[in-house]
Amino acid sequence: MTKNKILIFTTRHLCYNSGDFFAAQLANGFEENGIECEYCELEFDELRFAGMNVAEVDAAVTRGERKTWTGARESSAALLTEKSQRKLECYLGKSYLAVIDFNSRMPHMILDDGSYYLDGLDAPFYDYILDHPLYHHSTLSCQLKNFNVILLDRNQCDCVREYYPWIENVIFQPLGGQQAISPILPKDKKLEVLFTGTYRDPETVSEQMVKEKDETIRDCMLAMIEWLHKNPNGTVEQALKVYLTGGCSNTNDHLCENSEGELMKLLNACYPVEIYIRNLYRKNLIDAFAKEKVPLRIVGDWWEQYEHFQDAVSITYQPAVSFARSFELINQSAVLLDSSPFFQYGIHDRVTAAMANRTIALTDENMYIHQLNHQESEHIRLTEKLVERDVGSFIPTYEVNLPEAAVERAAELLSNLAFREELAEQAYDLYQREFTWKRVAKRLLDIF
């Protein structure tokens, strides 16, 4: 009997191998709460293209992993390979408290009799989605018997509840923060701002959208971007809804008439909008730092595409490091700069990692960060507009469309050790209460 055991799969090689890391930390958190975990890692090639949709295929082509593609798969399932079946058949019929995977493709897997593999396990399945659900439309469309989703943003939770009604439970749960091996106190950290993350040139993404052969999709994407420029605290799903309800100048009436039940499929086709906005805000942020002399270190993939490094004497760049190594870099730096515009009601794991290491996280403002800064219950949804940030907020924020304010705030933080120490201790206390992996696991166990 394994009902007191949790089965954790890893089926995706995520950015910087973060999925493997999160799976291991979550398993440790469950075990600290007295729950045993079983772990199964599937080789990437076994599920490499299972159930891929248009957004995922484009990413694979960009990385050079897939050379040909005929379009998005309409089928919700992909046959298991013989190798996969041999590895997975030992779990069929077994009972577990829960089965978990990160950014999973497992819902696509079917057995020889046409049934979903996951339906053959006596356990609820939880897909821990680490980015926007628009990238997981084909997976979320699989109608398993006991399909549950964990998300990092409350707005995205609402989106999944509305458009995938067969999902049993939609859970908001930010990722835990991770402490470095040898903690460094604020007084001993490097007086620099650290930015970790990937980059894609927004102009290249914009050209991709303009060249879109489907005129309907192209007009939709351009209208969404126009709306998001005017509404920087909006979400991509809100932008699409505005377009479909006639709220944009070039709304396609035929598309509106046929949009019922198809919004997420259309949003998936419009995925370059999210990529463009995310990278445009990152570029604007780094541009603002490049004009000043605030020391900034950038670590991540594809920043070779950024064109202003030669003119920015205060900015240093190094290629991406392993996910585990990134915590050491966060630990060393006085300030961590974060830009996560697709989180409008959530928190990125970079921020919780900074809190865990007494490094000040300077991030773009949203309702959840506001809620944390005001020490309000995480279960209370705020409905009022964002208020002006408090100077003493222990997670300092900036408005995403005012990157110059982020530079000013970073300079202020670097110049005032006593202030940094005060904020760092408050943030560390919150981490201990809310964002350790043991605490994250306990919240999930209370739901399971």
Q: Give whole-number Cα distances, 53 to 38, 105, 170, 255, in Å.
A: 30, 11, 22, 20
pLDDT of 113 reads 82
**145 and 121 co-located in one domain:** yes
Q: What angle do CA 343, 346, 351 make, to 5 degrees?
A: 90
Give the confidence band of 295 by pLDDT, cuts at 50, 70, 90: very high
Contact assessment for residue 73 and residue 52, using Cβ atoms and an 8 Å cutoff: yes
Which residue's entry shows tokens 């909006």? 234
Give the confidence band of 245 by pLDDT, cuts at 50, 70, 90: confident
**134 and 41 co-located in one domain:** yes
Give the confidence band of 2 by pLDDT, cuts at 50, 70, 90: low
pTM for the whole structure: 0.86
CA pseudo-torsion sign 339, 340, 345, 351: negative
- The number of angstroms, rounded, from the C-alpha of 425 to the middle of its chain's C-alpha atoms is 26
Contact assessment for residue 361 and residue 427, using Cβ atoms and an 8 Å cutoff: yes
**330 and 402 co-located in one domain:** yes
Residue 179 lies in a domain: no
pLDDT of 14 reads 60
Instruction: Quote the CA–CA distance of 127 and 11 in Å, as a whole number.
Output: 11
What the block records as the tokens of 299 is 């670590």
Please give the backbone phi and psi of residue 151, each rounded to the nearest 5 degrees, phi first.
-130, 165
Residue 257 lies in a domain: yes
Q: What angle do CA 208, 209, 215 make, to 5 degrees?
A: 125
pLDDT tens column, 154-211: 999 999 999 999 999 999 999 999 999 999 999 999 999 999 999 999 999 999 999 9
- Of 422, 432, 414, 369, residue with least CA distance to 395: 369
pLDDT(424) > 60: yes
Instruction: Quote the CA–CA distance of 51 and 109 in Å, as a whole number.
Output: 9
**146 and 260 co-located in one domain:** no
**196 and 144 co-located in one domain:** no
**192 and 302 co-located in one domain:** yes
pLDDT of 46 reads 53
How many structural domains comprise the chain?
3
Residue 440 lies in a domain: no
Percent of the chain predicted with pLDDT > 70: 81
User: Pick from 273, 298, 322: which residue ends a domain?
Assistant: 273
Instruction: Quote the CA–CA distance of 196 and 319 in Å, as a whole number.
Output: 10
Which residue's entry shows tokens 């394994």? 2
Q: Please give the residue range of the domain that contains residue 419.
A: 186-201+275-435
Strand order in the sheet with 98-102: 36-41, 5-10, 98-102, 125-128, 147-151, 169-172
pLDDT(31) > 90: yes
Cα atoms in the 13 Å half-sphere on the side-chain side of 167: 24
pLDDT tens column, 258-286: 444 578 889 999 999 999 999 999 999 99
**285 and 148 co-located in one domain:** no
Give the confidence band of 60 by pLDDT, cuts at 50, 70, 90: very low
Contact assessment for residue 425 and residue 395, using Cβ atoms and an 8 Å cutoff: no
pLDDT(151) > 60: yes
CA pseudo-torsion sign 379, 385, 386, 387: negative
The residue length of the chain stands at 448
**363 and 243 co-located in one domain:** no
**163 and 284 co-located in one domain:** no
Instruction: Quote the CA–CA distance of 132 and 174 in Å, as a whole number.
Output: 13
User: Pick from 247, 273, 299: which residue ends a domain?
Assistant: 273
**126 and 149 co-located in one domain:** yes
Contact assessment for residue 296 and residue 403, using Cβ atoms and an 8 Å cutoff: no
Cα atoms in the 13 Å half-sphere on the side-chain side of 353: 26
CA pseudo-torsion sign 26, 350, 274, 53: negative
Q: Which residues contact 416 (CB under 8 A, 6 or more apart)?
A: none
Instruction: Quote the CA–CA distance of 162 and 145 in Å, as a whole number.
Output: 18
**80 and 11 co-located in one domain:** yes
CA pseudo-torsion sign 53, 153, 256, 258: positive
Q: Which residues contact 49 (CB under 8 A, 6 or more apart)?
A: 57, 60, 66, 78
pLDDT(72) > 90: no
Single-letter amino acid, residue 124: P
Please give the backbone phi and psi of residue 292, each rounded to the nearest 5 degrees, phi first.
-110, -175
**246 and 294 co-located in one domain:** no
